[in-house]
Structure 1
Amino acid sequence: MTNKVLDNIVALADELREQATEAERLNKLPDSTAKKLKDAGAIKLLQPKQYGGFEAHPREFAETVMKAASYDGATGWVCGIVGVHPWQLAFADPKVQEEVWGEDDNTWIASPYAPTGVAVPVEGGYIFNGRWQFSSGTDHCDWIFLGALLGDKDGNPIMPPTMLHMILPRKDYEIVEDSWNVVGLKGTGSKDIIVKDAFVPDYRVMNGDHVIDGTAQREYGVTDTLYKMPWSTMFPLGISSAVIGIAEGALAAHLDYQRDRVGAQGTAIKDDPYVLFAIGEAAADISAAREALLANVDQMWDLTEAGKEIDFERRAAGRRTQVRAAWRAVQSVDTIFARSGGNALREDKPLQRFWRDAHAGLNHAIHVPSTVYHASALSSLGIDPPQNLRAMI
């Protein structure tokens, strides 16, 4: 299928580049940018066709996120994070799907999933309280997924923990203004969220552990390959794609800057073999990161479509690929940024923003390599990793 959404994003290239400075000033995407992304269908790629979505192959989703991020990191990041939420809502209770998309199928959903809230069971649902950080794109969303732990009647988490994903409308939570003061990905508007004594009915609650291990999809009875894909492939995909797209944007900005530049020693960059070597190496590594991420999602798709079980070892290897791809791309950005001269630090140059955004992207929990590499290595040795290493795999 031809990715019409990608074509729409390419058509917005100049506008997305131009609004990046304003997004940083606002600490969120401008309303006009969010509208353009809605018109482009940027968040609908993984959304069910029943509600106006495209049910696209996740490769197309990743390629679109990369492209948007290559124009502006914050825009790509929002496309990646907000864009994956329709995938999960597709196997939630039909009643909440209708609430979110019934009147407006371009309604956006925010997150985060960190279980920093507690849900106490009551008749018909839960009483919910908590505070969360890092809700990307939240100003432009009217619903939200929030992570929670199941609590007892006194509001204390029950042990062993049970993770829940709570789905709330905008009226039931508070966005904390001035809670996103950062050095990178400033335009994502990843603000704090507060919930106080909200009642969340049962049908708006998903068992988070079941979402991650695939039980929720099987219980819902999904038959489409897209919605049977492993969570550990789909949830990180938009985030890792954004980081690689940011690296591609940094490379493009670097080439544009270096094309006619003369270095401090009076040598034109086009005649400097050391800088040219760095450009060539960085370009190869960023391309390799891109291809590794896309090949990984293609392989997961093929296994899922064939009805084969994707065991923990394979999922862990997939996460290892995602993490390494992101780190490889950002390390390549460092290589070229260090050879861009002092003027690359100026705020009117886009390269410094791509550099900051790339490093900020690595700070997301899904890009922490330690536990992922550890779990993958143990699995490859035939050893079952302990529970603390299995998070997000």
Structure 2
Amino acid sequence: MHEVNERVEKLAARFEQQAVQDDDAGRLTDETVALMRSAGVVRLLQPREFGGYEATPGEFYRTVMALAARNPAAGWVGGVVGIHPWELAFSDPRLQRELWGENGEKADTWISSPYAPNGRARKVDGGFLFSGRWPFGSGSDHCDWAVLGGIVTDDAGNVTMPPDMRHFVLPRADYEILQDSWNVVGLAGTGSKDIVVKDAFIPEHRTLNAHEVAEGILAERHRPGNPLYAMPFGVMFSSAISAATLGIAEGALAAFLAYTRQRITIVGSRAAEDPHQLTGLGEAAADLDASRTHLLATMDRMYEDVLAGRTIGIEARAEARRNQVRASRRATDAVDALFRRAGGGSLRLDQPLQRHWRDVHAAMNHLCNVADSVYEGWSRDQFGLPAGIRVLV
């Protein structure tokens, strides 16, 4: 177990205690963020020379799961914000020094997103003028920078062909967080608020070509020979979403066990002795274990391939995405089976099970957990047809 994971386990009770406050605040509280910083969650995939751990992908995903099981919002933010140092590790070295300091003195810099190409960037001398609005900036209140998706236009504002899609990296002074934009039924504590940019100047070195990110070109240019950063972007980011989803589901299992141990049914019997409860519990636990194994084994195997110098082609990437979305679906179905057995008392807001149930369903609405296009893409590849870009989102 990685030392960061160990610290998360030691802080488990405190993370659990903060979950209600995070939801009520509509963002992670300062206390939750302080715990995450002390554990080092967001620095797991960050380069060592900038104060990171350069942990393996599997160590990162296991830590995200452990955190999400105790505090869904913290686990979600840990996964999303925690993947950004991995990508920015192969950005222009000037940007890396701006983010983390010359020698890692700003190692605890947090960076939000999203990557959706909602922005428009007009080329000017030395860079771009950039504007747009993006929903779903998870953890943005606690971040000092944001990486935002956008498309380059001509002087008239028309998108050039083929589209020049980039990730634009901005300091906090260059964008606005809309504080009233996150009113939701699930994952409320993530504070995934809208971000607005109006004609911000972005130097060229603070941009990353989206195609070069996705195909590992930037990683080979700026981190040659480093297997961690040679992992495929589409699979790494999507698996961070899935890891948080599975962690939330595992937390639901723990909440169901704690609740059922004390529960007396309407006929006066102990729920823990009811065959209906016990069979459902056993099946759900097996499915959750299968989902965890499915995701982690896939990512561990892919990392072993990278370590061995093998190329990760479209077939392996499509298979990894297929496994990822299936693991998330199986885990969510298991949570539903538990919640159906938990009775009316589980609806009370002081019961953790209802929060995990709401949060896992909110997680399933993330694009990376939408399965149909992924299944279709994998199947097309099996028949020698183009898999399509959505399979790698």
Deviation at 1:391, TM superposition (A): 4.8
Which residue pairs with 1:29 in the alignment?
28
Which residue identity is paired with 1:262? I
Q: Separation in 2 of the partners of 1:184 and 1:249?
A: 15
2: CA distance, partners of 1:222 / 1:154: 38
The residue number in structure 2 matching 1:122 is 124
SS in 2 for 1:56: coil
- Mapped to 1, the partners of 2:245 and 2:223 lie a distance apart of 33
TM-score, L = length of structure 1: 0.97
Tell me the SS of whatever aligns to 1:119: strand
Q: Alignment partner of 1:166: what SS?
A: strand
Deviations 1:120-169 (A, max 9, x none): 11111011000000000000000110000111112232233221000100
Match of 1:176 in 2: 178
Matches within 5 A, 1:188-227: 188-227=190-229
Q: Secondary structure at the match of 1:239?
A: helix
Alpha-carbon distance in structure 2 between the residues aligned to 1:189 and 1:301: 32
Instruction: Indicate the SS of the match to 2:341.
Output: coil
Secondary structure of 1:20's counterpart equals helix
Residue 336 of structure 1 pairs with residue 338 of structure 2: yes
Q: Which residue of 2 aligns with 1:13?
A: 12
**Counterpart amino acid of 1:11?**
K
Change (3 A) 1:391 1:228: closer
Alignment check: 8 A CA contact 1:374 1:389 kept: no
Identity fraction in percent? 48
Aligned partner (choices 290, 305, 308) of residue 292 of structure 2: 290
| 140 and 111 in structure 1: CA distance in 2 versus 1, 3 angstrom threshold | same
Find the aligned partners of 2:88 and 2:282 in 1 and give their Cα distance.
Answer: 42
Q: For the residues of structure 2 that align with 1:390 and 1:9, how far apart are their CA atoms?
A: 32
Work out whether residues 91 and 222 of structure 1, in 8 Å CA contact, stay in contact via their aligned partners in 2: no
Which residue in 1 is equivalent to 2:326?
A: 324
What is aligned with 1:155? 157
Match of 1:132 among 134, 150, 153: 134
Alpha-carbon distance in structure 2 between the residues aligned to 1:326 and 1:31? 29
Distance in structure 1 (CA, Å) of the matches to 2:13 and 2:370: 33
4+ residue stretches of structure 1 with deviation over 3 A? 387-391
User: Which residue type is aligned with residue 263 of structure 2?
Assistant: R
Deviations 1:191-215 (A, max 9, x none): 0000000000010000012111222
Deviations 1:158-187 (A, max 9, x none): 233221000100000000111000000000
| Matching residue's letter, 2:44 | L
* Separation (CA, whole Å) in 2 of partners of 1:298 and 1:233: 12
Shift of 1:390: 4.5
1:108 alignment counterpart: 110
Give CA-to-partner distance per residue, 1:319-344, whole Å, 9 cap, x none: 00010101110110000001001000
Instruction: State the alpha-carbon separation in 1 of the partners of residues 57 and 144 from structure 2.
Output: 24
Amino acid at match of 2:328: A
How many residues were matched structurally? 390
* One-letter identity of the residue aligned with 2:106: D
Distance in 1 (CA, whole Å) between partners of 2:355 and 2:285 is 19
C-alpha spacing 1:158/1:45, structure 2 compared with 1 (3 Å) = same
Q: 1:390 to 1:290 in 2, by over 3 A?
A: closer
Structure 2: unaligned runs, 5 residues or longer:
none
What stretches of structure 1 of length at least 5 have no aligned partner? Answer: none
Q: Which amino acid aligns with 1:150?
A: V
- Give distance in 1, aligned partners of 2:49 and 2:114: 25
Q: 2:142 and 2:160 mapped to 1: Cα distance?
A: 34
- Give the Cα–Cα distance (whole angstroms) in 1 for the partners of residues 392 and 238 of structure 2: 12
Shifted more, 262-271 versus 231-240: the winner is: 262-271
Q: Please state whether the residue corresponding to 1:134 is helix, strand or coil.
A: strand
Question: Are 1:373 and 2:372 an aligned pair?
Answer: no
Whether the aligned pair in 2 keeps the contact of 1:118 and 1:129 (CA below 8 Å) is yes
Which residue of structure 1 aligns with residue 303 of structure 2? 301
Q: What is the CA deviation profile of residues 60-109 of structure 1, one whole-angstrom value per residue up to 9, with x for unaligned ones?
A: 10010000000010010010000000000100011111111004111101
8 A contact 1:143–1:169 mirrored in 2: yes
2: CA distance, partners of 1:22 / 1:267 = 34
The one-letter code matched in structure 2 to 1:101 is W
Residues 119 and 148, structure 1, Cα contact 8 Å, conserved in 2: yes
Secondary structure class of the residue paired with 1:338:
helix
Q: State the superposition RMSD in angstroms.
A: 1.1
Aligned to 1:63: 62
User: More deviation in 207-216 or 325-334?
Assistant: 207-216
Letter of the 2:373 counterpart: T
Amino acid at match of 2:71: D
CA distance in 2, matches of 1:220, 1:53: 17
Give me the whole-angstrom Cα distance separating, in 2, the residues matched to 1:324 and 1:362: 11
Q: How much does 1:266 deviate?
A: 2.9
Contact 1:261–1:268 (Cα < 8 Å) also in 2: yes
Q: Does 1:54 align with 2:56?
A: no
User: How many angstroms does 1:271 deviate by?
Assistant: 2.1
* Other structure's SS at 1:86 match: helix
Contact 2:321 2:391 in 1 (8 A): no
